[in-house]
Structure 1
Amino acid sequence: LTWDRSVFHIPNDVLHMTTTLNTLITSLHLDSSDPIPLRNVHAAVMRKVLQWCTYHKNDPWSDEDGVGEGLLSRWDLQFFNEDQATVFELILAANYLGIKSLLDAACKYVAKLLAGKTPEQIRQMFNIKNDLTPEEQQKIRKENAWLEY
């Protein structure tokens, strides 16, 4: 049961991917068909979470392993090619639901978006106001001289 009162049936082969729901079902002795309120997830985001989990349900990683060191697949790149707000909502939902592999994949996608960007480009990308003085900016550049961008 999502924040906006939508009900989703989660198949058992997808349910195993979410540690939060598995823990709730086990510790509260719920039946897997009992509705579980998910106050932090909207229906549109839950649909995307289930789409991603259904596609990846037979992948070899475990929840502990995440997506590993490999590159994102073409399917994942297309899946995450959404507006920024949706990608960040997916990150929050994956964290809340305990789906480490989705969390890792979404964060890897965001890291790919940020790679090679200057601080100014990142501020523009996320509409962040630069409230640092020129002196503070210089100090940060000096402290992080090893960082290439």
Structure 2
Amino acid sequence: MLNIVTSDGQRLALERDVAEQAGLLRDFAQNQTDEDVPVPTITSGIFRKILDYFEHYGNEPVDAGTRRRDQQWEREYLAIDHGTLFNIITAANYLGAKPLLSMCTQEVADRIVGKTPQEIRQMFNIQNNSSPGQPTECPTECPTECPAECPTPDK
């Protein structure tokens, strides 16, 4: 067993075979340490959500690019607010849980596809940082050779 200590001081016991799914935890498990494993950037609520993923998939070998192995379960797992999703992404990155990270970042991409920049800003509570006089919205279509008033990535 690994004893995980979360940022909010909760101690959670984790089976060593479950720890194999995350690079950071795998390293601790392989070192056979009996010491507490601190995860100072992860709350107990987020860590439990990550454990749900680990326990669901077990030690099933997975390529980080694999998506939708259990579509119904993943759909239910990802039916969460944006803040929780981003906290899981940050935690999965910290832990080195590549399949979970891949699944969650794909979910972010799925949520923004087809949205306008304004809708994306609203969805993620991003303030508009445009300079005065700079267009805040791009036209939906620019001619092949854009005029000066049509912003392009290289201008």
**Pair in the same fold by TM > 0.5:** yes
Q: What does the per-residue CA deviation read over 1:111-132, in whole Å, with 9 as the maximum and x for residues that have no partner?
A: 1101111111101111222222
Q: Which runs of 5+ in 2 are unaligned?
A: 140-148
Q: Could you tell me how far 1:12 is from its partner in structure 2?
A: 2.3
Aligned residue identity for 1:97:
L
Percent identity, aligned pairs only? Answer: 31
Partner of 2:117: 119
Query: How high is the TM-score relative to the length of structure 2?
Result: 0.77
Asked if the contact 2:22–2:97 (Cα under 8 Å) also holds between the matched residues in 1, the reply is yes
Which is higher, the Rg of structure 1 or of structure 2?
2
| Backbone CA RMSD of aligned residues | 2.4
The structure showing larger relative contact order (alpha-carbon pairs under 8 Å, at least 6 residues apart) is 1
Counterpart secondary structure, 1:37: strand
Question: Is 1:90 aligned with 2:91?
Answer: no
Contact 2:20 2:29 survives alignment (8 Å):
no
Change (3 A) 1:128 1:135: closer
Q: Greater share of strand residues, 1 or 2?
A: 2
**Pairs aligned (count):** 137
Give the alignment's TM-score, normalised by structure 1.
0.80
* The structure with more helix, counted as a fraction of residues: 1
Q: Which runs of 5+ in 1 are unaligned?
A: 145-149
Using a 3 Å threshold, how does the CA distance of structure 1 residues 60 and 130 change in structure 2: closer, same or farther? same
Structure 2 equivalent of residue 110 of structure 1: 108
Structure 1 counterpart SS, 2:36? coil
Secondary structure of residue in 2 paired with 1:36: strand
Write the mapping of 1:41-52 to structure 2, written as runs, cut at 5 A: 41-52=42-53
Equivalent-residue separation in structure 2 for 1:24 and 1:59 (angstroms): 20
Distance in 2 (alpha carbons) for counterparts of 1:34 and 1:87: 29
Rounded Cα–Cα distance in structure 1 between residues aligned with 2:90 and 2:125: 20
Residue 17 of structure 1: which of 15, 21, 32 is its match? 21
